[in-house]
Structure 1
């Protein structure tokens, strides 16, 4: 079995909960695609196979000192008062609740690698393969797969555990990601392989 880390990325209340800030965008796609249910089943399969789980969450200090004002993405967080760490909005959705021993990887940008503890975690644990899922497909999943690929990790994307703000956005992102990662359904992926 390859030493793997399953990255569950930005599955936070503000993005995926039906009462979260993004309920009219990501929330709709997450519900229509069954992303929470699919991801919960994938997490259970990963745990049963002994695969380590890492939860990646985007967020900022209450004064947004880490958020670039010029970013088209993160300036909106500041304006709307979202993505503040230690609030309900940045907690992992309860359906996917972390357990003792899981990794909590906090980030301030789109990529799960940039300025985070991810790379030291991968090296310390001898990880060879990244299994990725999250919201959004064209954001954190795309960045994670590309950055993982360029660091020589085998990358697997669980397509049914991802969503974009629209169905088209997700489809287009997945079409691009096939160059950097293997795209599979979570039901067809064997975590013990």
Structure 2
């Protein structure tokens, strides 16, 4: 099996944006799947990489981002998925986890060939990240019960697009295998 990394997208969130109230219920539904993936990846010693927006604070590092998210309105959505001491962290500024970030280099150093994507938002950051992973020749797994959406119809369409156009394997948490 190729070396697999779990990529946690934008889960350290302050939920202080215009779509937050629509997003929060979906995050609550995805949270058990995300925590299960974190547990499985960590138990198998697979790399866990958090890729997160910087909230427009260009001086931010992961500690500041985590503190801001924990101080936000929905810290109950952040605490269960907080990075541990072995987690890796990449700050992003746009939708894709790859756009002008060092992620591709990091994954190369880790000899990663396959990415398991979870987090938010399915029809935005997850979709664009899956496309960028695909064009970089990574195997892509999107865990449907571990991604959150703003618009359910667009999320379903995004999952179909990732499967059909990007050869992404769309599955449930119980179907994900990490390195042994």
Q: TM-score, normalised by structure 1?
A: 0.78
Rounded to whole Å, the distance in 2 between the matches of 1:99 and 1:85 is 14
Number of aligned residue pairs: give it: 168
For structure 1, the 5+ residue unaligned runs are 66-83
Residue 14 of structure 1, CA deviation: 2.3
1:26 is paired with a residue of what secondary structure? helix
State how 1:28-47 maps to structure 2 within 5 Å.
Answer: 28-31=25-28, 34-47=29-42
Alignment CA distance shift 1:93-1:152 (3 Å):
same
Unaligned runs of 5+ in 2: 72-76
Q: Counterpart of 2:51? A: 56
Q: Which has the larger radius of gyration?
A: 1
| 2:159 alignment partner in structure 1 | 174
Mapped pair 1:141 → 2:126: yes
**Alpha-carbon distance in structure 2 between the residues aligned to 1:49 and 1:101:** 13
CA RMSD for the aligned pairs? 2.3
Of 139, 143, 153, the match for 2:138: 153
Deviation at 1:100, TM superposition (A): 1.4
CA drift of 1:162 comes to 0.6
More helix by share: 2
Partner of 2:170: 183
Q: Is 1:88 the equivalent of 2:88?
A: no
